[in-house]
Amino acid sequence: MAISEKEVKHVAWLARLGLTDAEVEKFTRQLDVILEHAGKISSLDLAQIPPTSHAIPLKNVLREDRVGTCLTPEDALSNAPKTEDQAFAVPRIV
Amino acid sequence: MEYESVIGLEIHVELDTESKMFCACSTRFGERPNTQTCPVCLGMPGSLPVANKKAIEYVIRSGLAVGCEISLYSQFHRKNYFYPDMPKDYQISQYDRPLCLAGSIDLDMETYETRLGITRIHLEEDTGKLIHIGGAGRIVGAEYSLVDFNRAGVPLMEIVSEPDMRTPEEAKAYARKLRAILISIGVSDCNMDKGSMRVDANISIRPKGATELGVKAELKNLNSFRSLQRALAYEIERQKKAIAEGEPIMQETRHWDETKGTTSTLRTKEYAHDYRYFPDPDLVPMEFDPTWIEGIRATLRELPDERKQRFITHYGLPAHDASLLTETKAMGDFFEETVTLYKGDPKAVSNWMLGDISYYLNTENLEIDETAVTPKHLAELLKLMDKGTISGKIAKEIFPEMFDTGKLPQIIVEEKGMTQISDESEIEKIIDMVLEENASAVREYHEGKERAFGFLVGQAMRLTKGRGNPQLINRLLREKLQG
Ligand SMILES: [Zn+2]
């Protein structure tokens, strides 16, 4: 196995996903297949190949430091379930 | 057992750009909540970040100023965590490809000199601001929180030091020096009150001579250089005591309470791999042309160390004066402007700035450019003294009023009738009175008691309400006594 149920539970916790035991079992199996498949790459000699973090051969896409238009606070807050004093109100954090 | 402390600092600095790191929202401080947001900095699905070129340039400029190697290839990563201060649930930061690596800062610690390493400098985005409602404004105990995203996405530079510092004093000196450098190269105002410079400290202790590192605590909420030094000193003692009592030191984040003067546990430190860094697919890599970097190097302004050297050679100041005057850009600028206006001895300017002015600034907790006093005030004050219009004593007297009201010294002198009396006949009259009234002191003087002379000078000064020209009083009194 390339991944354990314990690791799947940990990753699920990090992503704030609540999984049932059946889901943990199912995803462990699925992730194992994916990791095993991706693991095939390790069998190749890739010492000279840089990691492919981006699929397109672009670099240095930068913008000049200029201020543009912002949303109005009303628009910015329009999707918020709860607001107060022109701010997003969020539930208790800890 | 004798212990030594091992201290490293992580310093966050908001860069002085007009617009945010990955969008065109303004970075202005102190605006109404959520007036400076857009789909990018609110993390709306489908929005795409584009990096601010100036912010990248500022980080490279900072790296060059502290002798870093500049990476010719660099990249942004996503740092994943759940916290309402980031709407995307990740912060765009840098991981294994920071913009700058391996620099250092030289410190002059009065009795020794030392070089402290800088591990890396990277670029990221600032988070939003949280206001906790209920629970006295602290996150623990709050009922709910309000989020203002005006600050979310402001370019934030993180400077990570090597664990090279051994004392709280070194840590403070390092942070001050770094601040002076960053201000002088114009990348940030590094205002600790407004939070544009924030210092976190990692601290562990170990038996003296050991090479292995102890378990470290990370200190937060260090809002001034003073609290940095105090918090470190407190934490060193706390860890020593814990070890002596056989308690384990936990790797944890601790909150400094400025009023109580203590640190307390904040939350268990998450391990770095829990952030699941991965390259941000929306931001393509950066590759720099060495000539572009050399171009940035060429625009570097004079660094504090270079300015210090120039103050020594050009103005003939002692190294100690030059160090203190170049500690902040504002002090150095004030000094140079005053010398230009005054055209007199630079050391006299330095004496005033490091004496009365610094005393006043420390008492009032102000920077020199936050007061009503300008180089013109000091230059005029020195000129009035040189001309003999006022004595040094009077100058010291009118000084606080100058600070409080911003009035020029000439005006204060005239308003208060504080002009020095340098008229010989007027002084002579006063001396005659003094001699008449203090016959016993005169006798003592003639018996060879020099102290009596000082007493008589004092009496003359008293009669002139401190306005008599001291040199003149001295000379005339001596003449009269001997004549
Ligand atoms: Zn924005």
Residues B295-348 have pLDDT tens digits of 998 888 788 888 999 999 999 999 889 988 988 888 999 999 999 999 889 999
Report DSSP state, residue B26: B
Query: Do residues B384 and B409 lie in contact, with contact meaning Cβ atoms separated by under 8 Å?
Result: yes
Supply the mean pLDDT for chain A: 89
C-beta atoms of A90 and B145 within 8 A = yes
Q: Is the pLDDT of residue B128 over 90?
A: yes
Query: Do residues B12 and B160 lie in contact, with contact meaning Cβ atoms separated by under 8 Å?
Result: no
C-beta atoms of A93 and B34 within 8 A = no
Q: Is the pLDDT of residue B120 over 90?
A: yes
pLDDT digits (tens, 9 = 90+) for B362-384: 888 788 888 888 999 999 889 88
Ligand 1 centroid – CA B44 distance (Å): 10
Supply the mean pLDDT for chain B: 88
Residues of A whose CB is below 8 A from B35: 70, 72-73, 86
- Residue A21 near chain B (CB below 8 Å): no
Q: Stretch B276-302: mean pLDDT, rounded? A: 90
> For residue B6, which of B112, B161, B199 has the smallest C-alpha distance?
B161
Least trusted range by pLDDT, from B125-134, B175-184, B293-302: B293-302
Helix (H, G, I), strand (E, B) or coil at B304: helix
pLDDT of residue B268: 46
Query: Do residues B159 and B224 lie in contact, with contact meaning Cβ atoms separated by under 8 Å?
Result: no
pLDDT of residue B122: 97
For residues B349 and B369, give the distance between their C-alpha atoms in angstroms, rounded to a whole number.
Answer: 16
- Higher pLDDT pick, B35 / B367: B35
pLDDT of residue B103: 93
Query: Do residues B141 and B134 lie in contact, with contact meaning Cβ atoms separated by under 8 Å?
Result: yes
pLDDT digits (tens, 9 = 90+) for B181-191: 998 888 998 98
What does the buried/exposed string (b/e) look like for B238-253 if buried means 16 or more CB atoms within 10 Å of the residue's CB?
A: bbeeebeeeeeeeebb
pLDDT of residue B481: 81
Q: Stretch A13-32: mean pLDDT, rounded? A: 90
Please provide residue B434's backbone torsions phi and psi, each rounded to the nearest 5 degrees.
-60, -45
Using CB atoms and an 8 Å cut-off, which of residues 71-90 of chain A contact chain B?
71-73, 76-77, 84-90
E strand or H helix that includes residue B240: helix B225-244
For residues B163 and B214, give the distance between their C-alpha atoms in angstroms, rounded to a whole number.
Answer: 11
- Residue B149 near chain A (CB below 8 Å): yes
What is the model's pTM? 0.74
| ipTM field | 0.85
> For residue B220, which of B205, B204, B231, B233 has the smallest C-alpha distance?
B231
Q: What count of CB pairs under 8 Å joins A to B?
A: 126
> For residue B264, which of B240, B238, B227 has the smallest C-alpha distance?
B238
Residues of B whose CB is below 8 A from A77: 34
Report DSSP state, residue B392: H
C-beta atoms of B274 and A89 within 8 A = no
Ligand 1 centroid – CA B48 distance (Å): 10
Among left, alpha and beta (phi > 0; psi -120 to 50; other), residue B465 is left
E strand or H helix that includes residue B53: helix B53-65
- Number of C-beta neighbours around residue B53 at 10 A: 15
Contacts of B459 (CB under 8 A, 6+ apart): B434, B437, B438, B441
- Residue B47 near chain A (CB below 8 Å): no
Residues of B whose CB is below 8 A from A93: 83-84, 130, 132, 139, 142, 145
Please list the alpha-helical segments (H only) found in B316-391. Answer: 319-325, 329-342, 346-352, 358-364, 375-387
Domain ranges of chain B: 8-206+275-295, 302-416, 424-482
pLDDT of residue B267: 62
**Burial class for B270, CB neighbours closer than 10 Å (0-12, 13-18, 19+):** exposed
According to DSSP, the β-strands at B100-108 and A62-63 are unpaired
Q: Is the pLDDT of residue B273 over 60?
A: no
Q: In this complex, which of B84, B132, B279 lies closest to A53 when CB atoms are compared?
A: B279
Structural domains in chain A? Answer: 1-44 (1.10.20.60)
For domain B424-482, the CATH architecture is Orthogonal Bundle (1.10)
What does the buried/exposed string (b/e) look like for B438-454 if buried means 16 or more CB atoms within 10 Å of the residue's CB?
A: beebbebbeeeeeebbe
- Higher pLDDT pick, A41 / B318: B318
- Residue B90 near chain A (CB below 8 Å): no
Helix (H, G, I), strand (E, B) or coil at B37: coil
pLDDT of residue B63: 96
Q: Is the pLDDT of residue B115 over 90?
A: yes
pLDDT of residue B269: 41
Using CB atoms and an 8 Å cut-off, which of residues 256-285 of chain B contact chain A?
267, 274, 276, 278-279, 281, 283-285
Please provide residue B115's backbone torsions phi and psi, each rounded to the nearest 5 degrees.
-115, 125
pLDDT digits (tens, 9 = 90+) for B204-247: 998 888 888 888 888 988 888 989 999 999 999 999 888 888 88
Instruction: Please give the residue of chain B at the shortest CA–CA distance from A14.
Output: B274
C-beta atoms of B34 and A63 within 8 A = no
Q: Is the pLDDT of residue B270 over 50?
A: no
Q: Is the pLDDT of residue B105 over 90?
A: yes
Q: How confident is the model at residue B134 (pLDDT cuts 50, 70, 90)?
A: confident
Q: In this complex, which of B25, B33, B281 lies closest to A86 when CB atoms are compared?
A: B33
Residues of A whose CB is below 8 A from B266: none
For residues A28 and A34, give the distance between their C-alpha atoms in angstroms, rounded to a whole number.
Answer: 10
Query: Do residues B236 and B170 lie in contact, with contact meaning Cβ atoms separated by under 8 Å?
Result: no
Report DSSP state, residue B125: E
C-beta atoms of B18 and A86 within 8 A = no
Q: Is the pLDDT of residue B26 over 90?
A: yes
C-beta atoms of B24 and A68 within 8 A = yes
pLDDT digits (tens, 9 = 90+) for B408-432: 888 887 777 767 777 788 888 888 8
- Residue B92 near chain A (CB below 8 Å): no
Least trusted range by pLDDT, from B66-75, B127-136, B389-398: B389-398
Query: Greatest CA span in chain A, whole angstroms?
Result: 58
Report DSSP state, residue B368: G
Contacts of B10 (CB under 8 A, 6+ apart): B158, B159, B160, B161, B199, B200, B201, B202
Q: Is the pLDDT of residue B57 over 70?
A: yes
**% residues pLDDT > 90 (chain B):** 44
